[in-house]
Amino acid sequence: MTTQFAEAFGFERRDVTLANWRTAPFSPFSFGHAEEIVPSASIAAMAEVSEGAPLRSPLLTQHLPEGLAGQPDVGAYLDYAHTDAFVLMKAGRIVAEHYAPHAGVNQRHIIFSISKSLTALVIATLEADGLIDPDAPVTDLLPEAAGSAYGDCTIRDVLDMRVSLAFDEAYLNTDGAYARYRRATLWNPADPAQPDETLLAFLLTLKKDAHPHGGAHFYASPNSDLLGILIERATGERYADVLSKRLWQPLGAKNHASVTVDAEGTARAAGGISVTARDLARVGEMLRMGGKVEDRRIIPEAWIADMLTAGDHQAWVDGKSNFFPKGRYRSQWYQSGEPDGAFCAIGIHGQWLYVDPSTETVIVKLSSQPNPLDDELKHDNFAFFRALSAWTA
């Protein structure tokens, strides 16, 4: 007998496992239900509110510039790009929304490496209160990091992905350090032939590469998980609770968020957060407004100015990125380097938070893109966002 679940998704719920949850065809379900797959902690909103129906907008039928991935209009592009949830804001107002049949306004969705950018916003508030000094050594808060790659770097090196680290960010690795990393975060099933590790224990095994810290941009997710641990050391509180009190509740988020945790309860600050699309758009709008929501200061204005302007372009170039040729990276956020000042947070499998201050635009796109990276689609998405930003609502 076929269940309603199978009719909706094409497979039974029992078919989704730790071994396959990030792969098609299971990801459209599991990316919206990560808490069912991996142990998770709640990031509480002030009071959860069920939001209303999606906005119906004629913008979804708006024609796209010729040649943009061969798609005739916005709706067709969203389907082409494996979109689960999409929100377009102009001047603080939602002007277009789209949700796949398996998603919805109040449905959380894992945002993968956009989690890094939210983690950095928490760091910003701790810096303002004198609890974290970005220029201090990591070992000031985590003395056991001595002897690891993090034993002689600063927190700023970690924030800007300029740690000298002998590590390969290989998402499809099945038998090396990245596979150990996945198992330590409980994102992959245990390997009976290998010892169990916690996230912190894994991080402390990582070694420095041959060059000094502070050089070329080198993207490595373990850095951001380390930031989550530093947040806990600086505050004496759990990461999820700190994010709730310092970002989620002051933001006015309408839905609780969540973050996956390891066997010790250590948060996957680099990639484990799940939020609704509208709440993520609220983060973008807060940043567009200089760190404020109405008259409430959430993120220090000086921190945002630094994030937007202080990234080292040469470090970005030396890192040999094939994206944002004019770009920079600062405090876990990407700056496009384009004249419009657009900046963004990006996660694998097609997660985006894109802000264009020049046109008062905020865009959220949450996806279940089968290929975790897909550079061609990444460039298509950027062109798509720039086209949307140019429109007047």
Residues that are catalytic: 113
Q: How far is residue 247 CA from its own chain's centroid?
A: 15
State whether residue 137 is helix, strand or coil: strand
Tokens representing residue 334 in the block: 């990407």
Answer yes or no: are the C-beta atoms of 298 and 197 closer than 8 Å. no
Mark out the alpha helices in 81-176 (DSSP H runs): 114-128, 155-159
The rounded distance, in Å, linking the Cα atoms of 171 and 89 is 32
> What does the angle CA 22 – CA 25 – CA 29 come to, to the nearest 5 degrees?
70
Q: From residue 344, how far is each of 117, 216, 294, 364, 385 by CA, in Å? A: 9, 20, 22, 10, 11
Answer yes or no: are the C-beta atoms of 393 and 95 closer than 8 Å. yes
Tokens representing residue 21 in the block: 């949850």
Answer yes or no: are the C-beta atoms of 120 and 127 closer than 8 Å. no
The rounded distance, in Å, linking the Cα atoms of 231 and 369 is 31
One-letter identity of residue 203: L
- Which residues have a Cβ under 8 Å from the Cβ of 291 and sit 6 or more positions away? 297, 298, 299, 300, 301, 303, 304
Q: What is the DSSP string of 160-205?
A: TT---------TT-SSSHHHHHHHHTTSS---TTS----HHHHHTT
Answer yes or no: are the C-beta atoms of 26 and 42 closer than 8 Å. no
Tokens representing residue 289 in the block: 């407004």
One-letter identity of residue 210: A
